Chains A and B, each alone.
Chain A
Amino acid sequence: MHEIKKPRRNMFVAIVVIALALLGGLQTIPLTNGENGLAQPPPQLQPDVKITSITFSNNNPGEDEEITISATVWNNNTMNITNVTITFSYDITTIENITNLSIGAKENMTINVTWKAVKWNHNISVMVSIDGMPLKDSMMSKEITVNAKPIGDVLSLVIALMIVFIIITGTITIPGIWKYITNKKCK
């Protein structure tokens, strides 16, 4: 039987240690995509939950009118999903967050929120988050046109016109009044 000599054994141990160290080091080097050199997150499996439709109780509401926005969420997974948050927003303003929802496997859920319509064209968006993390590609948007309130009233216009006419006709008499006042003072 050959016996490994002590110096050789030490060298073998050293090589193994170096090899292990190198392997460990390689594992800590971030993966790069080769183009921009940015680190890529490890692939994660996201639950397949999507907004499938957005509907409005009135597609052409007036300003300040309260309308109901309904969004249907579809859970395409084979397991139930909990702690779901649905965020309703118009443009970049949040309307309401509906939290702590649970959606059964392969099930739809319809969520309604009430919105006091704001004049102008808006993009109503609905987004799904699970455990506070927004789901990629879960958002859906729909445009809505909110008409401004009918503006003005006839009475204020009549008053405005009367003010103009009174002042214009009053200007005619001002020199006469002024003359009377100054003459009275002189006397």
Chain B
Amino acid sequence: MSFKRDIMEDITHTYIGIQYELRKHLRRRRFAIAIILAVVLPILFYAVPKIWNTGFAETSESFVSSNLGFVNLLIIISAALFAGDAISGEFEKKTALLTFSTPQRRTSIFAGKYIAALTAIFVIVSLYYIITILEVIQIYGINNVPLDLVKSYLLALLYVCSVLSLTFFFSSIFKSVISSTLISFFTLMMILPIVSMLLTVVKIEPWFIVTYSAGLITDVFVQPIFMGGAGGERGGGFTEYAPDFGTGVWVMVAYAVILFIMSIIIAVRKDVE
């Protein structure tokens, strides 16, 4: 009976934590910024060709693929906004000290923060996809909405989990909000893509890098003609690679799960000085 009560308490505490964090996200301007980005970015792809009268892409797949090329960026920015300070903020502002006097476990608090950030980013990514679909319906008609959008959307959600776990991991390591936010942002925006590119130059497929797997979000529209492994040599003997679907998905799952567990373990064991 006590076991069941313990488990139920943990779940309730996490639920309270999620509610609190979501309210906090809504109160902050960060959520509004992310919403604006999610609305403006896809609208630009519709408005610019319309205003300049340059015409849209020939196929709806090409249009969606180029439009969703920026969803990765939105996910990284959103993760930095919602999770960059999730753990480090508690230690920097010493608010983690309050956990000693509360019946809530740190695990429940941090899991609540994670789930709340996940929910917020899911909403933002969904908004981006909804606007893109509306644009496709407007330009190409409802019959030309690519079915691969479902796969792309699910891949984007999976990528959100992995990016958020990575951001949480850095947030649990560092005690400064600025350090954790900037390092997670630059790791996803610059360091990992640079490592991927360097590995490609030396003809090693960077299959284990999550930003490389994120290419699948747009690759599902069969835009690239090569999938999984080396595509072939281009000018200057440069080999092109594209992520394999199965490997890419499991890499994202591995990043999401392993880094989340690691961040929770580090955060729970961390001293509040």
Which residues from chain A sit less than 8 Å from chain B, CB to CB? 119-121, 145-154, 156-158, 160-161, 163-164, 167-169, 171-177, 179-180
Contact = CB atoms under 8 A, between A and B. Distances in A.
Contacts of A156: 246, 249
Interface in B91-136: 105, 107-108, 111, 114-115
A151 B222 CA distance: 8
A22 B68 CA distance: 82
A153 B151 CA distance: 7
Given A160-B158, A175-B10, A119 B225 contact: yes
A121 B114 CA distance: 44
B86 interface: no
A163 B224 CA distance: 29
Contact of A164 (B155, B158, B227): B158
B261 interface: yes
24 contacts: A119-B226, A148-B225, A148-B227, A150-B148, A151-B220, A151-B227, A156-B246, A160-B250, A161-B161, A164-B158, A164-B253, A167-B260, A168-B111, A168-B114, A168-B115, A171-B260, A172-B108, A173-B10, A173-B11, A174-B107, A176-B3, A177-B7, A180-B3, A180-B6
Contact of B7 (A121, A154, A167, A176): A176
Interface string B206-246: 00000000001001101011110001100000000000011
B241 to A, nearest CB: 12
B150 A154 contact: yes
A147 B225 contact: yes
Contacts, number: 101
B154 interface: yes
Contacts of B10: 172-173, 175-176
B226 A176 contact: no
Contacts of A179: 6
Contact of B154 (A146, A154, A174, A177): A154
Contacts of A149: 227
B103 to A, nearest CB: 12
Given A156-B246, A171-B264, A176-B7, A161 B158 contact: yes
Interface size class of B (residues with CB under 8 A): 35 or more
Chain A to chain B: the 9 pairs with minimum beta-carbon distance, closest first: A157-B154, A176-B6, A152-B245, A148-B227, A180-B3, A151-B245, A172-B111, A176-B7, A164-B256
Given A120-B225, A172-B108, A161 B9 contact: no
Contacts of B151: 152-154, 157
Given A119-B227, A145-B225, A174-B107, A164 B250 contact: no
B257 interface: yes
B81 interface: no
B9 A176 contact: yes
A90 B104 CA distance: 65
Contacts of A163: 253, 257
Interface string B139-164: 00000000010110011011001000
Nearest to A152: B245
Contact of B11 (A150, A164, A167, A172): A172
